[in-house]
A = this chain, B = another copy of it.
Amino acid sequence: MKNPPKTNKLSASALRREREKQLRRQSILSAAEILFAHNGYRKTKIEDIAGKAEVSVGTVYGYFQNKEELLTAVLDDIGLYIRKLAGKAFGDADSVLEGIERAGMAFFEELCRPYPEKVLLLCDESIGVGDQFVNARRNFMLKMTEDVHGALMKGKDGLGLKFASGISAEVIAVCTTAIFVWLGMYYKIWRKRPGDINTIGRETVTYIVGGIKSLMVS
């Protein structure tokens, strides 16, 4: 009797509540991402995030245990997005080298250019936050390294490529990520020279591809 009949109606209401919960979580996350990137982790108050997400401070703490967890969640989100981007770029390419070029262009065109702030979070504010965040960033880098390694070893052209050493993939992942992160920071300066932006993007990718090639052995 206490159990409500499992009609469509109730199920629907439960579903809707679940959907709203996800939406609210997402809106808090988005607000945090924007504010962290714009003003920095420390300067961003929970109150600001709550305000931007149009919820109360308490609600933020209902979805995230504390400020650091919020930052970690933001980072995870960005990492997921980046890896998807790269995966798609490689999937569309016919060879490893083309994949690299496409991924490079995708990073630039679809990440650094439209959302330079997202990329900055990977670098900025890392010291002094806490171990949880540092671990999250480390995990992101490890996954990136695996992705790069995997992509380079099992090219669509059937024959994988060989590297100078067993840790070359790691070096490549780190150097390449570094460039994009730094690029995000410089985008804030460069965006004022719109005529050069395309050239900068193209040449940066050229630099990256050149760097990667130099660590390959035929």
Contacts and interface: CB of A to CB of B under 8 A. Distances in A.
A214 B120 CA distance: 26
**Copies of this polypeptide in the complex:** 4
A211 B211 CA distance: 4
A117 to B, nearest CB: 9
Interface of A: 37, 39-43, 120, 123-129, 138, 141, 164-165, 167-168, 170-172, 174-175, 177-179, 181-183, 185-186, 189, 196, 199-200, 203-204, 206-215
A191 B190 CA distance: 34
Nearest to A137: B185
Nearest 4 pairs between A and B by C-beta? Answer: A40-B128, A210-B214, A178-B182, A40-B127
Contacts of A40: 127-129
Contacts of A183: 174, 178
B199 A165 contact: yes
A196 B167 CA distance: 8
A204 B178 CA distance: 12
Given A178-B183, A182-B181, A186-B174, A203 B165 contact: yes
Given A138-B189, A182-B181, A206 B128 contact: no
A44 to B, nearest CB: 8
Nearest to A207: B211
Contacts of A213: 210, 214
Contacts of A207: 171-172, 175, 211-212, 214-215
Nearest to A189: B138
A40 B128 CA distance: 5
A148 to B, nearest CB: 12
Given A123-B181, A125-B128, A179-B179, 16 more contacts: A43-B127, A120-B127, A123-B124, A123-B182, A124-B125, A124-B126, A126-B185, A138-B189, A165-B199, A167-B199, A168-B203, A171-B207, A175-B207, A175-B208, A181-B182, A210-B211
